Structure 1
Amino acid sequence: MSMKNLYVTGALLLLSVFSFAQQKDPKAKAILDQVSAKFKSYQTVSANFAYEIANAAGKVLSKKSGVVQMKGNKYAINLGNNKIISDGVTIWNYDPGAKEVTVNSATASEGTITPQKLFTDFYNKDFMYVMDKDGTVGGKAVNKIIMQPIDKNKPFARVYVAVDKATKNIISTTVIEKSGNRYVYNVSNFKTNTAIPDATFTFNKAKYPGVEVVDLR
């Protein structure tokens, strides 16, 4: 390839990246707004999730699965025997291997990531987004959306979101780091408005004898 063609190709690539960075595709926003509104209408949500981490070469580094439950601003994540629990005021992170639970204050700051934010309007301030080609995930017809962080200092370059066309729920998210590492999250068995007791969202130390409490508040 000639030097001239290299310059042209480079310029087109930069133009493409710049063009993406300026976009908030109205069709993508409409779908994401539907997802957010639908999620906010639920009293409770419980779902299974699985995630896979692969490096830039495609080698799978880790696979895990778990269950998440949400009620208002409360949530409980069971990842094997590990638990992350929040009543909206306090967050408990239980590690059975270390026989330890760390305690932090839940904050309302925009930087705090909760499961609820991943299903609602996290995209409004932090991302530009465009439509990708529709497809299927787990046999379900989905809309696919490509998202790019506005803050270039973020460690990830792109986020790919798949929205179930029928339910308007996010069922798959893929995060691509700048290093090339890929994190794939899939959601299944999505149940809404089932009774979940509030005790689910607090850590009862009496049920875990011998656990050390590390209070970081």
Structure 2
Amino acid sequence: MKNVFLTALLLVFSVSLHAQDKKAKELLDQVTAKVKSYKNISIDFRYSLTNSKENINQESKGNVVLEGDKYVLNFMGATKMFDGRKNYTIVPEDEEITISKYDDKDSKAITPSKMLTFFNSGYKYSWDITQNIKGRKIQYVKLLPISAKDQRKEI
């Protein structure tokens, strides 16, 4: 009887998780489609780095403006721009500007389309908390790297 109960509980739990994961993927797809329909978009974000072994707890804010396959990213005191052909990195603190050609074969190269679809491979989706921020309902989706070698715990 105990085994039957545990099996039933596990089945209900796994069906519930699968439904939430499907719901998370559907939300990500809806947001991606909506964002792609805009001519341009501005995104403010927050990045947290936590390493309890090294006693590191760092938080940085940034923003990115996307228009077609072009972008301007401001993060950690640097500005990175892409005009569709070249990448420009400006670091005012070092009085340095780097210009490099875009290599579409480079899997690590960042483009707006990759920013909006990177989660389609290499991640599991998880329906996360809902918060009311300034009168707006915000639904969070947690992205968990599939690879155990990935240094990120979650996005």
TM over 0.5: yes
Q: How does 1:119-198 map to 2 (within 5 A)?
A: 120-132=116-128, 134-136=129-131, 138-139=133-134, 140-159=136-155
In structure 2, C-alpha distance between the alignment counterparts of 1:33 and 1:44, rounded to whole Å: 18
SS where residue 154 of structure 2 aligns?
strand
| Distance change >3 Å, CA 82–CA 128, structure 1 → 2 | closer
Question: Would you say the 8 A contact 1:70–1:116 is kept in 2?
Answer: no
Give 1:44's aligned amino acid.
N
Report how far residue 50 of structure 1 moved.
4.1
In structure 2, C-alpha distance between the alignment counterparts of 1:80 and 1:151, rounded to whole Å: 27
In structure 1, C-alpha distance between the alignment counterparts of 2:63 and 2:144, rounded to whole Å: 27
Q: 1:90 aligns with which of 73, 79, 86?
A: 86
**Counterpart for residue 40 of structure 1:** 36
In structure 1, C-alpha distance between the alignment counterparts of 2:76 and 2:150, rounded to whole Å: 29
Greater helix percent: which structure?
2
Report how far residue 88 of structure 1 moved.
1.9
Report how far residue 116 of structure 1 moved.
4.7
Report how far residue 72 of structure 1 moved.
0.7
Question: Would you say the 8 A contact 2:68–2:112 is kept in 1?
Answer: no
- Which gives a bigger RCO, structure 1 or 2 (Cα 8 Å, sep 6+)? 1
TM-score, with length taken from structure 1: 0.52
Question: Would you say the 8 A contact 2:81–2:87 is kept in 1?
Answer: yes
**Counterpart for residue 114 of structure 2:** 117
In structure 2, C-alpha distance between the alignment counterparts of 1:77 and 1:54, rounded to whole Å: 23
| Distance change >3 Å, CA 103–CA 137, structure 1 → 2 | farther
Question: Would you say the 8 A contact 2:50–2:58 is kept in 1?
Answer: yes
Q: How does 1:68-79 map to 2 (within 5 A)?
A: 68-79=64-75
Count the aligned residue pairs: 136
Give 1:117's aligned amino acid.
K
TM-score, with length taken from structure 2: 0.69
In structure 2, C-alpha distance between the alignment counterparts of 1:93 and 1:135, rounded to whole Å: 36
Give 2:26's aligned amino acid.
A
**Partner deviation per Cα, 1:12-49 (whole Å, 9 max, x = no partner):** xxx9xxx7xxx692211111110110111011112444
Residue ranges of structure 2 left out of the alignment (5+ in a row): 1-9
Residue ranges of structure 1 left out of the alignment (5+ in a row): 1-14, 160-217
SS where residue 157 of structure 1 aligns?
coil
In structure 2, C-alpha distance between the alignment counterparts of 1:128 and 1:67, rounded to whole Å: 25
In structure 1, C-alpha distance between the alignment counterparts of 2:143 and 2:49, rounded to whole Å: 19
Question: Would you say the 8 A contact 1:52–1:60 is kept in 2?
Answer: no
In structure 2, C-alpha distance between the alignment counterparts of 1:135 and 1:157, rounded to whole Å: 20
Percent identity over the alignment is 29
| Distance change >3 Å, CA 97–CA 153, structure 1 → 2 | same
Report how far residue 63 of structure 1 moved.
4.1
Report how far residue 111 of structure 1 moved.
3.0
